[in-house]
């Protein structure tokens, strides 16, 4: 007998969970579509060389590689030294999608002649990472991305921030959108005299929420930043909005990052007075392909961390030979949003995974009539289930109760003779005898549905 356990870091989703996840996805998707973004789906597996080298050394280790089919060992020379990395590139030529961005870039490069720019696409698909599973971290999870490529216009940033606002409005989840720019971070690194170690400077700052300001200062100093400047900067990084802009200007920030961020905030605020978009100089974001504005969304009144993020990149497809395609994109974290909605009890009551009506069987004789009623209910948009076996009524009612089915249709000999049925309301504990034909034709006169 085989062991029947789920693989490590993987999840089954029951109907309760699937319907709630789909609710979130449908809200996100409706916003994407209303802004003119179209769906794209790329395959789960890519050629290994499409993925490797795109996510840094740490990322490469987390890519799930798929073994070649057939006699994969014949690709390995006899007496080859045993080295996992050398071997894996010989015995594996495909890998599972690690994110949605690199496959999107590959798609763009493949279809460069058919695509009209600006090209707006969204993509909602699972990705896989061989991370050590822990609370809230899984080896398979969904990413929900929207990107537009082919335009340098900052209106795109405004539009994407508006999309964030619309989604979280629709979910009734109060959020704050934080914005900064890689150009501002470059100014900071320049000020500190470590402009040539820009990525290292950002990666240290990116961890400020986890490790605290003192540790950031310590690591910056280790990187070569004079202590005084590190201290000066870390004080500014605690500021938000206009004071942060002013402080950075006073420091001598010369790039146009501050201007760009201010412009986006100004335009956004004109159209979205209810939503918070705030300049946050502590925002760094780890992905190294961002070059312009960067964003992150977090729930107010909650400690779930980031619910999504994104940014602008000057060149995404250059690695695949398609030059000069700038873009900007946002991403939503489905699992975190799920937890935030669950905690705040914000899933709508209308999400239900139980049918409205159960037709039960009292005898083989009446079964056909009950089946007919149930079939007709479905034609009239009622979700109806037929209990397949003529077992004891109590067992069938227990099933309805456990499934959370509110109404039960019962047809016995009397009802069969009178052309009626008994409608039992499991919630109110009431039962009515009603005309069978009228019920089938006008079920909503009798049923209180969600």
Per-residue buried b or exposed e for 179-217, using 16+ beta carbons within 10 Å of the residue's own CB: bbbbbbbbbbbbbbebeebbebbbbbbbebeeeeeeebb
Nearest to 312 by CA among 161, 168, 196, 444: 161
At its nearest, how many Å lie between a copy of itself and the CB of residue 449?
13
Q: For the CB of residue 420, give the shortest distance to a copy of itself in the complex, in Å.
A: 20
Angstrom distance (rounded) from CA 184 to CA 181: 5
Q: With H, G, I as helix, E, B as strand and everything else as coil, classify residue 263.
A: helix
Nearest-approach distance from CB 371 to a copy of itself, in angstroms: 7
What are the helix (H) ranges across 272-351?
334-343
Cβ 164 to a copy of itself shortest distance, Å:
14
Element (H, E) at 88: helix 84-91
Indicate the residue among 82 and 135 with the shorter CB distance to a copy of itself: 82
- Residue 126 or 241: which CB sits closer to a copy of itself? 126
Distance CA(342)–CA(5), nearest Å, equals: 27
Smallest separation (angstroms) from a copy of itself to the CB of 62: 8
Strand 65-67 and strand 45-47: the pairing is unpaired
Q: Mapping DSSP to helix (H, G, I), strand (E, B) and coil, where does residue 42 land? A: coil
- Of the pair 22, 222, the CB lying nearest a copy of itself is at 22
The residue among 207 and 372 lying less far from a copy of itself, judged by its C-beta, is 372
Q: How far is the CB of 405 from a copy of itself (least distance, A)?
A: 8
281 or 326, CB closer to a copy of itself?
326
Least Å distance, CB 90 to a copy of itself, is 11
Token output for 382: 């009622």
User: Quick one: 399 or 446, whose CB is closer to a copy of itself?
Assistant: 399
* Strands 357-359, 384-386: pairing kind: parallel
Nearer to a copy of itself, 116 or 210 (CB): 116
Q: 11 by DSSP, 3-state: which?
A: coil
Query: How far, CA to CA in Å, does 428 sit from each of 358, 379, 398?
Result: 16, 26, 16
């Amino acid at each position: 007998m085989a062991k029947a356990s789920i693989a490590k870091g993987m999840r089954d989703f029951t109907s309760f969970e699937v319907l709630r996840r789909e609710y979130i996805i449908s809200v996100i998707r409706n916003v994407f579509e209303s802004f003119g973004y179209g769906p794209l789906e790329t395959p789960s597996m890519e050629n290994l060389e499409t993925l490797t080298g795109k996510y840094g050394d740490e990322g490469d280790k987390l890519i799930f590689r798929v073994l070649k089919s057939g006699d994969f060992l014949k690709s390995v020379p006899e007496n080859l030294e045993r080295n996992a990395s050398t071997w894996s590139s010989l015995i594996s030529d495909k890998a599972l999608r690690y994110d949605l961005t690199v496959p999107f870039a590959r798609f763009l490069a493949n279809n460069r002649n058919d695509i009209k720019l600006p090209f707006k696409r969204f993509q909602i698909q699972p990705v896989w990472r061989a991370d050590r599973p822990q609370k809230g971290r899984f080896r398979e999870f969904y990413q929900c991305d929207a990107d537009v490529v082919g335009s340098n216009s900052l209106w795109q940033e405004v539009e994407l921030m508006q999309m964030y606002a619309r989604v979280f409005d629709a979910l009734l989840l109060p959020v704050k959108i934080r914005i900064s720019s890689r150009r501002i971070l470059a100014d900071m690194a320049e000020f500190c005299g470590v402009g040539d170690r820009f990525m290292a400077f950002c990666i240290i700052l990116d961890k400020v929420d986890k490790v605290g300001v003192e540790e950031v200062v310590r690591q910056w100093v280790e990187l070569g930043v004079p202590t005084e400047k590190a201290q000066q900067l870390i004080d500014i990084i605690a500021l938000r909005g206009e004071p942060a802009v002013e402080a950075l200007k006073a420091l001598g920030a010369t790039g146009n990052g501050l201007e760009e961020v201010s412009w986006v905030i100004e335009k956004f605020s004109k159209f979205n007075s209810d939503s918070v978009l705030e300049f946050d100089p502590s925002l760094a974001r780890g992905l190294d392909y961002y070059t312009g504005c960067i964003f992150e969304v977090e729930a107010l009144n909650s400690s779930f961390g980031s619910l999504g993020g994104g940014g602008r990149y000057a060149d995404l497809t250059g690695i695949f030979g398609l030059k000069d395609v700038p873009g900007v994109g946002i991403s939503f974290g489905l699992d975190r949003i799920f937890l935030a909605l669950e905690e705040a009890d914000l899933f709508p009551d209308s999400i239900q995974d139980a049918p409205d009506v159960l037709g039960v069987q009292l005898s083989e004789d009446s079964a056909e009539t009950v089946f007919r009623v149930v079939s007709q209910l479905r034609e009239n948009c009622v979700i109806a289930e037929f209990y397949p076996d003529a077992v004891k009524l109590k067992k069938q009612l227990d099933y309805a109760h456990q499934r959370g089915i509110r109404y039960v249709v019962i047809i016995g000999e009397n009802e069969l003779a009178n052309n009626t049925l008994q409608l039992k309301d499991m919630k109110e504990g009431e039962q009515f005898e009603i005309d069978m034909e009228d019920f089938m034709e006008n079920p909503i006169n009798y049923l209180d549905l969600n």
